Chain A
Amino acid sequence: MTTLHIVNKSPFEKNAMESCLGHALDGDAILLFEDGVYGALSNTRIANEISRRAGAVKFFVLGPDLNARGLGDGRIADGITVVDYSGFVDLVTTHGRTQSWL
């Protein structure tokens, strides 16, 4: 059973996202929300690692948290899918466990 990893910290302030990427296994999904959405931007120092893992690991970002921060879809790195709250719930229900990276 695969894991849904959820990250709510900016990768530019905390190492939660880096640690998450280091422990996510193929088939897992990573959802970025709250300040974690800054990790979904293109042209950042973490974007390369995301595109390298994209495919083996599925990446999602929570739309309402993007919009609140003025980050539209056009700013999001390739390979990351924007979801709404019900998409978040779907991800929780389709994975064996949810792991928070605080």
Chain B
Amino acid sequence: MSEAKKFLYVNRKAPYGTIYALESLEVVLIGAAFDQHVSLAFVDDGVFQIAKGQDTKSLGVKNFSPTYRALGDYGVTKFYVEKDSLDERGLSADDLMEITYEDENDGFAEKPSIIVVTKAEMAEVMRDQDVILSF
């Protein structure tokens, strides 16, 4: 068996207009099931994927945004969100869903999954990976 690799899923598209965001989410779930180290990055319009208050009822399509909040149970606990992208779009961290995980190494304490980073910090996160999958 080879060692687990670090996978980063880079999300740069808004949800619903195209299939990218939903496809990314499905691949993330598959990757997590294979016991790899999975992190997510939200850059450019990708930050809209985790905006709070999404309601697709009158669209007739599935609102998949609650699924992001379940990823902690699959060991996906790092959501890197680029501050520059939020700023450009008039958003702040308060406009994002509350996404948490239970830290099994800390008495299952509930901790935030979202980590807001600068563009420079995001570039370093990217260089730290074994595999980058873009959506």
Contacts and interface: CB of A to CB of B under 8 A. Distances in A.
Interface of B: 10, 12-13, 20, 43-44, 84, 119, 122-124, 126-127, 129-132, 134-135
Given A19-B44, A23-B119, A102-B12, A97 B134 contact: no
A100 interface: yes
A94 to B, nearest CB: 16
A99 interface: yes
Contact of A99 (B10, B84, B135): B10
A24 B127 CA distance: 9
A102 B134 contact: yes
Contacts of B124: 25
Contacts of B134: 99-102
Given A97-B131, A100-B134, 14 more contacts: A1-B127, A2-B127, A3-B127, A19-B44, A22-B119, A22-B123, A23-B43, A23-B126, A24-B123, A25-B124, A25-B127, A97-B129, A97-B130, A99-B132
18 contacts: A1-B127, A2-B127, A3-B127, A3-B132, A15-B44, A19-B12, A22-B119, A23-B43, A23-B123, A24-B123, A97-B130, A97-B131, A99-B132, A99-B134, A100-B132, A100-B134, A101-B12, A102-B134
